[in-house]
Amino acid sequence: MSPVSPSFPARRRLCRWWRTWFVRGGAAGAVAMALLAETDPRPVRSGPAPTAAVPTPAAVPVPEPALFKRARTHWAFLPLSPAMPPPAAVLQPGGPGGSAVADPTPVDRFLQARLAARGLGLSPLADPASRLRRLALVVTGLPPTPEEIEAFDAEASRDPAAAGRWLERYLARPAFAERWAQHWLDAAGYADSNGYFNADSDRPLAHRYRDWVIASIRRDQPFDRWIHEQLAGDELAGWAPGDPVTPEIRGLLEATHFLRNGQDGTGESDGNPDEVRVDRYYALEACQQIVGSSLLGLTVQCAKCHDHKFEPFTQRDYYAMQAFFHPAFPIDDWVKPNDRVIEAPLP
């Protein structure tokens, strides 16, 4: 029996569909849900609570399926474990760099332990200009100005803690969010066009999703809420046509563009009914593929035709997952990509 009522309407919250898939979706879903349950006390089922099972003397343990065992060890489903820094290593004096850091950070201690095992040492400490350049490039993707290098050189010569203050300055710059947003945008399949071969067409409003990602990083939004809004922002907003749109509602609607990042050539199909239908399913499958790779660490597309040979993901899992996204991509009631526009009055 389904964990939800048979009257479950097609447009209930997508996040509830998602959590339901974790319960019903097979080995991958069961392990992922078990890991979520360790820290998430909210109920995952609707309806009455299940009654406790009564053990019987004749009960025989059921062997765990091989696929479920694989799912338990899948890297993306393993909970984070603490990693204690090793004790400060004694480096070989003959290695490059020659000596250990006088007051090592936890990261230094990991590096020193690996180097010591190979009879190596750390490189000499970089000069202030090199350190600031590395810091600026990693955090913002931009090199420091000559004036910043000069100021940091003077400050670092007086105070060893100067690097921490400069790090905070770079983290507060808009360029930090812009640089680090690109990593998520790559994983989420972001593009400014629909990606349909030589008939590629523009997505004129896709940039609003990009800007939402950047703004979310700048305000340090909690990761779980960030994911919820991208999976089900339109449902979380509770907006109906004709209602005014507040900045909060607008952000939720823009976040849900995450589900539209896949290739979608349905606006350029040549009119052949079979091709049109195939292209519509391809857009639905592209959504699944991006959700699987960016959030589950799974390459789900192979399970379209058979149980995945390498991932803990079956063909049944694939179509169970597709069933939850199907109402957002209704094959028989399709809207072309550039016609999916919401017009709403501002308050």
Question: What pLDDT, in 10s, does the model give residues 47-69?
Answer: 444 444 555 555 556 556 777 78
Sign of the Cα torsion 178, 181, 183, 188 reads negative
Which pLDDT tens digit goes with each residue over 75-98? 888 888 888 888 876 654 444 444
Using pLDDT thresholds of 50, 70 and 90, give the confidence band for residue 186: very high
Task: Judge whether 206 and 257 are in contact, CB under 8 Å.
Answer: yes
3-state secondary structure of 175: helix
Residues 6+ apart with CB under 8 A from 258: 188, 209, 230, 231, 290
Do 252 and 233 touch, CB atoms closer than 8 A? yes
pLDDT of 104 > 70? The answer is yes
pTM of the model: 0.76
pLDDT of residue 332: 94
Please write the tens of the pLDDT for every residue from 244-253.
Answer: 889 999 999 9
Encoded tokens for 72: 């338990």
Residue-wise pLDDT for 262-312, tens only, equals 999 898 877 789 989 999 999 999 999 999 999 999 999 999 999 998 889
What digits encode the pLDDT tens for the residues 147-157?
999 999 999 99
For the chain, give the number of residues. 347
CB atoms within 10 A of CB 328: 18
Who wins on pLDDT, 230 or 31?
A: 230
Among 22-36, 161-175, 205-219, 278-292, whose mean pLDDT is lowest? 22-36
Return the minimum-mean-pLDDT range out of 14-23, 197-206, 294-303. 14-23
Show the CA angle centred on residue 28, arms to residues 27 and 31, nearest 5°.
Answer: 85
Highest mean pLDDT among 28-37, 67-76, 132-141: 132-141
- Amino acid identity of residue 19, one-letter, is R
Residue among 223, 144, 233, 148 at smallest CA distance from 180 = 223
Nearest of 107, 112, 118 to residue 88 by alpha carbon: 112
More confident residue, 203 or 67: 203
Question: What does the buried/exposed string (b/e) look like for 50-66 if buried means 16 or more CB atoms within 10 Å of the residue's CB?
Answer: eeeeeeeeeeeeeeeee
pLDDT value at position 111?
87
* Confidence bin at 15 (pLDDT 50/70/90): very low
Who has greater pLDDT, 271 or 316?
316
What are the contacts of 178-187 at 24+ separation with CB within 8 A? 178/140, 178/141, 178/214, 179/139, 179/140, 179/141, 180/217, 181/210, 181/213, 181/214, 181/217, 184/213, 184/294, 185/210, 185/213, 187/293, 187/294
Can you tell me the distance from the alpha carbon of 101 to that of 91, in angstroms, rounded to the nearest whole number?
Answer: 10
Distance CA 163, CA 170 (A): 11
- pLDDT value of residue 250: 93
